Structure 1
Amino acid sequence: MLRQYELVERVKAYDPDADEALLNRAYVYTVQKHGTQKRASGDPYFSHPVEVAGLMTDLKLDQETIITALLHDTVEDTLATIDDVEANFGTDVARLVDGVTKLSKIEAMPENERAAENLRKFLLAMSEDIRVLLVKLGDRLHNMRTLHFIRSPEKRQRIARETMDIYAPLAERVGMYEYMREMQLLAFEQLEPEGYQTITGRLEQIRAQDGGQVDAIALDIKQALAGAGLAVEVSGREKHPYSIWRKMAERHVNFEQVTDIMAFRVIAETVDDCYRALGVLHHTWQFIPGRFKDYISTPKTNGYRSLHTSLIYENSMRVEVQIRTREMHRTNEFGLAAHWAYKQGDRPDGQVGWLRDLIEIVDASNDPEELLEHTRLAIYQDRIFAFTPKGALFQLPKGATAVDFAFAVHTDLGAQTVGAKINGRHMPLRTPLNNGDVVEIIKGKSAEPQLSWLGFVVTGKARAAIRRAVRLKERAEVAALGRQLFDEIAARLPARIGKKAIREAVERLDLEDADELMYAIGAAKIPDRDVMEALVPGSTAEFEDGDEQQHQERAISIRGLTPGVGFTLANCCNPVPGDRIVGLRRPNETVVVHRIDCFELANGVDADWIDLRWGKRSHGALGRVSVTLYDRPGTLAEMAGIFAQGHANVVSLAQTQSDRPFVTYEVEADVTDLAHLTRIVSALRASDAVAEAERL
């Protein structure tokens, strides 16, 4: 553990103007506050923030970041408060500490909700000041280094999974590859212990048996470049164990079949030297087609720049070579921290862009699981490059589609997407993009995100935006249904309902506004009686419980729809409870419920089809029957008597055809369900007055 004077000397070495007294005070503060607390390793707890501060000095960060690292656990794990931190160390440090502090003290929240809320707060704080992320990554890296001291295997696995899913990709997104690789390695050891042992064991065998082969290849590369007049540094190493594991999993091969486990790094003086070195290597050894990547002319969004190529060395050995300048190497290893971009106010556009995307995801995510899912997608590592017709470059995850591309350009463009041209050709929206594709998005002013898009989009930003739009649309449909039901409720009241009565009802029901009232009615969250009483206090006294119960039970519920989504029963087939049904959803319309054998379904190719079932308590619908009577006195009365005896109230009766000796009527009657309607039709057919009876 770093001693107090050692930490101060480290900071003063690269920042002579640092406030030595303030640094000393922060060191003493964290030691005092953590007191006798112990870590799982048995070390004093304050050793952890001190080591995190040491990691920050390796990155040569400013004194505020060093102090934040020292204090980052005091608010969470001691009696210190943010106000205490602000009083002692200033507003900026307090804000940074608050950003890093987790919310794990909210014990009432389930584990996934706590993790999501921690991540939500962290992302918001990170968007305001990237130093929050740098301290958090240092905190997580040191925790991973000491993870093996935790006794609970379940807790170790949970922390390792969170590190692999969230923090290692975040380190990659800001270009801190050293942090990323170490976190992945330590998490890999916990998540796949057998795979870790196998791969590290095989790498040790290779090191013991290669007889200095790595050094020999590095020397050959250096000599080949020196012969072309290039002064370079060359170093070699085996690939990262987790990288080998991923390659084995992706290619479905064993260790022996992974041929390019050696990687070499060439450090050149200038960018021109990098390209000259690439030409020399390709001239000296055969390069492997499809394995060359130019991240100098087209950097990654995290600022990473380098040339990557794979060569076939002697004896058909494959080796990977990375070529970069010294400045690129520094940036590539420590990324955004090496730029001090947070201090200079010149963060690269790529950094701002993906941070902005993360904040949009935080705003759009509806629940903890969505937030965690969308964030993991947003920091996905394997990426492709695609262009707008004007040449603007966007980086997307592998497997991304035109819809993902549209949302990457702008959320509004994604929402209005109706089609896409890929390399000048109209292609389906679900078509996966390839490196270098030129994508032109076709939009429509009245278009809106479709629920079916969730079946193929892969970016967190797109999924979050689509889900949000669908939720808002469904809420609008529910509210529209609620307004119709509200009119029915208001008609049963003794007074005319105006805006004042609605405002007072909203207050009595403890709702935000009239829109929320309509949504609550449409979603069946508030009984009719409560709405009536809120509108006109005392008005429900005149209703008998039985009357109200009868009114409530007439409601029809349908399973398969989001609760409260507006629907109508199709007039073409008049489904009743008991029929097999399907829903058609079109833009800006409520769901229309049809019988499964309805002929109108043939016209539903432009709609989303929804598999539906009746709710358990659904009863009460309009049944339509065509009845052909013998044209003689008394037959019409006999037909009406059959409906009455069957407890089916006739709503309408219309003569549709007269062809002596027959006359045909179309009858609409209230029935409870399909069985009720079937009994009515059977009774009609059994009557001597009826020539024919069919359900319409």
Structure 2
Amino acid sequence: MVQAVTQPSSGLAEWQHRAGQVPPVLGEALEACASHPVNQAECVDVLDLLAMLGCDAQTQAAALWFEVARIDPALWAQREPGLPPELQRLVGGQVAAERVWALHAQHGADHGAEGLRRLLLAIIRDLRVVFILLARQLARMRAASALPEAARQLLARLTQDIHAPLANRLGIWQLKWELEDLAFRYLHPETYKRIAHLLDERRSDREEFIRESLDVLHRALDAAGIRAELAGRPKHIYSIWKKMQRKALEFSDLYDIRAVRVLVDNVADCYGALGVVHTLWPHLPGEFDDYIARPKGNDYRSLHTAVIGPRGKTLEVQIRTHEMHRINELGVAAHWRYKEGGSGDSEFEAKIAWMRRLLEPRPDSEGDLAAELHTELLEDRVYVLTPKGEVVDLPHGATVLDFAYHVHTEVGHRCRGAKVNGRIVPLTYQPHSGDRVEVLTAKVAEPSRDWLSAHHGYLHTSRAKEKVRTWFRRIAHDANLAAGRAMFEKELRRLALPAADVAKLPAHFHLKTHDDLLVALALGEVAPGQIARVLQEAAAPPVETPPPAAARQLPRDHSALSIEGVGNLLTTLARCCQPLPGDPVRGFVTRGRGVSVHRADCVSLARLARRDPDRVIDMEWGKASVQAYEVEIELRGYDRKGLQKDVTGLISNEGINIVASSSRLFAHTGEVEMRFTLRVRDFEQLSGLLARLVALPNVVDARRVSAG
């Protein structure tokens, strides 16, 4: 029969009297409950279960405050701001869990109970909430016999799909067994009664056999000098039924209905006791499991063996240390040590990390954890909902467009927008766990090449990007070539590099011809930022043999610039043309300000060279540039509210400093022109910024201002 962990008391007042003096945080919650019609018997049961799990007073208080918040939201809204932030978070986690219960009630397990369990753990940020949820569900299941049949079935199904598996994976066996048995009792009443009747029918004979076995084993262990605590092990109805189903056995064929547990002081005594058991009785081949050397995925540790005991009857023996037993019974809760302002012990933190990996389906056999689970942690995944309530998991950073391609390739191709929780969002929007995402589609599949650009941020997953590339590969080669050429020329114009040397570009990307490079650019296999970086490297002249001392260059690893014909002089970048690393450059020796560095095609430099040709010197970029360089960009578009704020915000988010800015509005056309002087690292950063600026609403063009 179902074995209760604790016996609940009748009311909160009696519970408080029994508990004695309670911390203020719990006393305040008890006082709030006293003035509201909460289910006191259920609250008492929850408090007892949380105390059995070793949870702190704040966790117990959060369980009570949630009941108050559910009955009197106005009072909770009034009291919440004055409560500790962690208590607010614990109540908020229970509120978030209600969304999962609603989804389960609406869709049941048809859309994947495992997905709902993963979503639950994703939206709960404090592990203690899980303890409250399990304790409350067990309290409700204990009282479920008084509910109408439909409500009882719904509660039992939720327990079987969500709570019992969570308790199992966290290793909280005391709650796990009872949750499973109660759910089984209400979902399969006839089978439950039949197995319970068979257990009761042979109870006296079985108990006599267990007593006899314990006496024999106790004497043998004493003779071996092993101090041990022995007890019969209760067998739970649900586990009996699962074994009968899994192994296709009748009740009479089960050997572990008769079982004993041996608790010893240390691991060495575990194996010593095992030797005594196997010496005392012959063991059954193939029925030995060493979960000490190879713990189960939920950290369950014990020795299991089956032997032919007294009277020739089979007997299961479990051997473990007292510490193993404590952890096996309470699981992750056994490690809970909450200290305000401090961190938990290292063992508990390791358990937390393990729990964060409990998000992939596991076989019933519970094999080795490393083989069963992905290495990704919970924080690396986002769990969102389809309009029908199905749970979809995506990598952290995935966009709504990634979601569309995850649903179906054709949905992604036809995607033109998305709604998150009923609100229209851009395709670059990154949903959060628990969000409900709806994809807005067009009749015609027409992906955009911009979706392949990392600068625009439309797609995060390689799977979605490959689907877009595949779509474009089906287009005629000439169309891809034309698109790639347009993108390439656009990039050169943006960076003000119309005369760039592109002959060596294909070889750098392991391509044969320039046309191959253009096609790769069109398919997103080569990014514009990569081309910008290679052009920057190609623009620097090759390293030559060091010249005589009279005309030595500055060491490359000590300066961003190498100057031919002079020693180590102060250099400044000319504001007229704002050269960047990779631009061909020349220097002009000023009076008192060192060398002014210009782009080689700078109009101002040409004017200075005509006037003082002897002061013009050759220069090149070094290879260890670590400073920022000023560059001027121009942005054109149509005015709207917040445009300048969006532009400056984007520049700031890219980690780029604004040195100067100006804007001009053409009132008769509504057009706006903005100019910014920025400090950037190199061409690649500039290329990415320009691409993101053009993607802003109402922005028509963004490019680097040409020299002169």
Compute the TM-score of the two structures, normalised by the length of structure 2.
0.51
CA distance in 2, matches of 1:411, 1:121: 10
CA distance in 2, matches of 1:323, 1:471: 49
- Residue 144 of structure 1 pairs with residue 141 of structure 2: yes
Q: How far off its partner does 1:512 sit?
A: 1.4
SS of 2:286 mapped into structure 1: coil
- Residue 161 of structure 1 pairs with residue 164 of structure 2: no
Runs of at least 5 residues in structure 1 that lack an aligned partner in the other structure: 38-44, 362-373, 386-392, 397-404, 415-459, 487-501, 503-508, 532-561, 572-587, 591-696
CA distance in 2, matches of 1:125, 1:237: 37
CA distance in 2, matches of 1:234, 1:186: 28
Q: Is the 8 A contact 2:54 2:336 kept in 1?
A: no
- Residue 197 of structure 1 pairs with residue 193 of structure 2: yes
| Cα pair distance change 1:163/1:114, threshold 3 Å | closer
Instruction: State the identity as a percent.
Output: 30
Pairwise mapping of residues 25-424 of structure 1 onto structure 2 (< 5 A)?
25-33=28-36, 35=37, 45-80=39-74, 82-101=76-95, 111-112=105-106, 122-126=120-124, 128-152=125-149, 154-210=150-206, 212-341=208-337, 343=339, 344-348=344-348, 351-357=351-357, 377=361, 381-385=364-368, 394=370, 396=372, 407-408=374-375
CA distance in 2, matches of 1:288, 1:589: 67
Q: How far off its partner does 1:301 sit?
A: 3.7
Q: Is the 8 A contact 2:29 2:65 kept in 1?
A: yes
Which one-letter code corresponds to 2:121 in the other structure?
L
CA distances 1:308-359 after superposition (whole Å, capped 9, x unpaired): 111121344221111112222122111221211565253556633443335x
Q: How far off its partner does 1:51 sit?
A: 2.2
Say how many residue pairs are matched: 423
CA distances 1:122-156 after superposition (whole Å, capped 9, x unpaired): 42354x2211011111101101101111112x322
CA distance in 2, matches of 1:515, 1:87: 31
CA distance in 2, matches of 1:220, 1:51: 39
Pairwise mapping of residues 433-582 of structure 1 onto structure 2 (< 5 A)?
512=426, 523-525=441-443, 566=471
| Cα pair distance change 1:113/1:82, threshold 3 Å | farther
CA distance in 2, matches of 1:410, 1:118: 17
CA distance in 1, matches of 2:350, 2:413: 44
CA distance in 2, matches of 1:479, 1:241: 47
Q: Is the 8 A contact 2:291 2:301 kept in 1?
A: yes
CA distances 1:54-80 after superposition (whole Å, capped 9, x unpaired): 221223321101111222322223334
Q: How far off its partner does 1:260 sit?
A: 2.2
CA distance in 1, matches of 2:321, 2:439: 66
CA distances 1:197-220 after superposition (whole Å, capped 9, x unpaired): 111111111113447121111211
Task: Quote the residue 1:632 is aligned against.
Answer: none
SS of 2:370 mapped into structure 1: strand
SS of 1:300 mapped into structure 2: coil
SS of 2:357 mapped into structure 1: helix
Q: How far off its partner does 1:411 sit?
A: 11
Q: How far off its partner does 1:476 sit?
A: 10
Q: Bigger relative contact order, structure 1 or 2, given CA contacts below 8 A and separation 6+? A: 2
CA distance in 2, matches of 1:201, 1:8: 39
Q: How far off its partner does 1:121 sit?
A: 6.5
| Cα pair distance change 1:82/1:94, threshold 3 Å | farther
Q: Is the 8 A contact 1:176 1:334 kept in 2?
A: yes
CA distance in 2, matches of 1:22, 1:150: 33
Q: How far off its partner does 1:524 sit?
A: 2.4
CA distance in 1, matches of 2:118, 2:206: 48
| Cα pair distance change 1:282/1:395, threshold 3 Å | farther
SS of 1:235 mapped into structure 2: strand
SS of 1:266 mapped into structure 2: strand
SS of 1:188 mapped into structure 2: helix
| Cα pair distance change 1:118/1:411, threshold 3 Å | closer
CA distances 1:212-234 after superposition (whole Å, capped 9, x unpaired): 12111121121121121112111
Q: How far off its partner does 1:261 sit?
A: 0.9
Which one-letter code corresponds to 1:384 in the other structure?
G
SS of 2:243 mapped into structure 1: helix
CA distance in 2, matches of 1:471, 1:521: 8
SS of 1:309 mapped into structure 2: strand
Which one-letter code corresponds to 2:72 in the other structure?
T
| Cα pair distance change 1:308/1:464, threshold 3 Å | farther
Q: Is the 8 A contact 1:292 1:310 kept in 2?
A: yes
Q: Is the 8 A contact 1:96 1:131 kept in 2?
A: yes
CA distance in 2, matches of 1:521, 1:340: 42
CA distance in 2, matches of 1:395, 1:147: 39
CA distance in 2, matches of 1:51, 1:411: 31
CA distance in 2, matches of 1:104, 1:318: 46
CA distance in 1, matches of 2:258, 2:355: 34
Q: Is the 8 A contact 2:33 2:64 kept in 1?
A: yes
| Cα pair distance change 1:163/1:525, threshold 3 Å | same
| Cα pair distance change 1:212/1:413, threshold 3 Å | same
| Cα pair distance change 1:481/1:27, threshold 3 Å | closer
SS of 2:278 mapped into structure 1: helix
Which one-letter code corresponds to 1:512 in the other structure?
P
Q: How far off its partner does 1:81 sit?
A: 5.7
Q: Is the 8 A contact 2:29 2:64 kept in 1?
A: yes
| Cα pair distance change 1:511/1:291, threshold 3 Å | same
Q: Is the 8 A contact 1:480 1:522 kept in 2?
A: no
Which one-letter code corresponds to 1:32 in the other structure?
S
Task: Quote the residue 1:597 is aligned against.
Answer: none
SS of 1:260 mapped into structure 2: coil
CA distance in 2, matches of 1:99, 1:521: 28
CA distance in 1, matches of 2:99, 2:277: 57
CA distance in 1, matches of 2:194, 2:89: 45
Q: Is the 8 A contact 2:50 2:60 kept in 1?
A: yes
CA distance in 2, matches of 1:81, 1:249: 50
